[in-house]
Amino acid sequence: MRAGSSIEAPEILVGFAEAYAAIEAAWSLKEAGFRVSAFARAGAIAALRHVAGVRVYSVTPPEVDAARSMHDVRAIVRSINPAAYLPLDDAGVWVAQTLGIEDLRVAGPTGAAASYALDKELQIAAAADAGFLVPPTKLIRSLEDAHDAAYPIVIKPTRVIRVVSGRLVRPKGVVCADASELRTAAPLLETGAALARPVRTHG
């Protein structure tokens, strides 16, 4: 059902505009009769800027200053008063978690659902509880926790994005062939807990 064709259609705010899903989401919303606005990292190349009829606002990149980025997004919300906010990627979900605007409708995961979306430890536990087969996975908080692992192993952060020293970061996983390579995971563990599991090998 298309949105009403009254004087002014409801406006949906989406973010971040650099997300792969941005253009398709904007087209779908416009086709349904909604007005679309988006926020993009200042200085970033976002193809959505070239979509006719979509207003794109620049915000401080959260990777530069997370608090300032949230301040900028809140200012946009106050200015346009959108009917809903649609997060388009992990950073967009983090925005929804962090905004703290109670009367803003979020067309995406909120509360516990958002926590699950951004936390691999919760995802794996839920999958195991539901009866799915999951690879043997160990929660580690220090390099010592992984010394008894069956190598090779891959170590990934539990949180897909984290705020570290006031900046949003996306820690990358590392593969360790043996215990001597564990030191490569030290920077990862400095930002929080991680998950270690064997690397699948064939042959």
Confidence of residue 19 (pLDDT cuts 50, 70, 90): very high
| Arithmetic mean of pLDDT, 178-199 | 88
| Arithmetic mean of pLDDT, 89-106 | 93
pLDDT at residue 3 greater than cutoff 80: no
Centre a 10 Å sphere on the Cβ of residue 90 and count the other Cβ atoms it contains.
Answer: 17
Q: Give the model's pLDDT for residue 1.
A: 46
| Arithmetic mean of pLDDT, 109-138 | 93
Confidence of residue 166 (pLDDT cuts 50, 70, 90): very high
Q: Give the model's pLDDT for residue 5.
A: 52
Identify the residue whose tokens are 């946009």.
76
Mean pLDDT value across the chain: 91
Query: Domain 132-198 is classified in which CATH homologous superfamily?
Result: ATP-grasp fold, A domain (3.30.1490.20)
Domain boundary assignment for the chain = 11-117, 132-198
Confidence of residue 202 (pLDDT cuts 50, 70, 90): low
Q: What sign results for the dihedral spanned by CA atoms 187, 192, 195, 196?
A: positive
pLDDT digit string (tens) for 133-151?
998 899 999 988 888 888 8
| Arithmetic mean of pLDDT, 113-140 | 93
Centre a 10 Å sphere on the Cβ of residue 194 and count the other Cβ atoms it contains.
Answer: 26
Report yes or no: 134 and 174 within 8 Å, Cβ to Cβ: no
Residue 14: phi and psi, rounded to 5, are -125, 155
Bridge partners, 155 (sequence order): 174, 196
> What is the CATH code of the structural domain delimited by 11-117?
3.40.50.20
